[in-house]
């Protein structure tokens, strides 16, 4: 047991951790909504978006953040906003990652998928029974 273990302020560590999480959440999604939006409206927006009224959409937009916009008017999202809401990387970041892992030989998702499928087919051809043994339907 460490002599200084009793000197660690666990509450301060936890408070700092919570503050960092909240800072990241705010940076990604904006401030917490100050409007009281019923949970039923969120469920309606997720499952029955076509049934949202103008008032429903206005209430969701009153959140003042990207989530409210995505729920109320998803078709108005830019590609960058859509990527952010879905937690996807930007197209530039995806391209950079593909180039990095392929040592510059590929740069698009289509190339990566094509190469992956090509490699899978080659591996299947080497399996007992060969490629013909795999049901292609």
Q: Give the integer Cα–Cα distance in Å for 51 and 55.
A: 11
pLDDT averaged per 10 residues, the chain (length 137): 62 84 77 77 91 93 89 92 88 91 90 86 59 45
For the chain, the residue count is 137
Neighbours of 71 (CB within 10 A): 23
Neighbours of 45 (CB within 10 A): 22
pLDDT tens digits, one per residue of 33-62: 667 889 999 999 989 989 999 999 999 998
Q: Are 22 and 14 in contact (CB under 8 A)?
A: no
**What predicted TM-score, i.e. pTM, was given to this entire model?**
0.51
Q: Give the integer Cα–Cα distance in Å for 64 and 41.
A: 16
- Position 6 scores a pLDDT of 59
- Position 137 scores a pLDDT of 42
Sign of torsion over alpha carbons 85, 86, 87, 88: negative
């Amino acid at each position: 047991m460490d002599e200084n273990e009793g000197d660690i302020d666990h509450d301060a560590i936890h408070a700092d951790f919570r503050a960092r999480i909240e800072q990241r959440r705010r940076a990604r999604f904006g401030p917490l909504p100050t409007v009281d939006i019923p949970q039923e409206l969120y469920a309606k927006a997720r499952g029955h978006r076509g049934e949202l009224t103008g008032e429903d959409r206005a209430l969701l937009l009153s959140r003042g953040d990207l989530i409210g916009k995505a729920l109320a008017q998803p078709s108005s999202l830019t590609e960058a906003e859509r990527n952010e809401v879905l937690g996807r990387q930007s197209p530039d970041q995806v391209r950079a990652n593909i180039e990095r892992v392929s040592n510059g030989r590929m740069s698009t998702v289509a190339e990566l998928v094509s190469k992956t499928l090509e490699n899978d087919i080659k591996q299947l051809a080497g399996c007992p029974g060969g490629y013909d043994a795999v049901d292609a339907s």
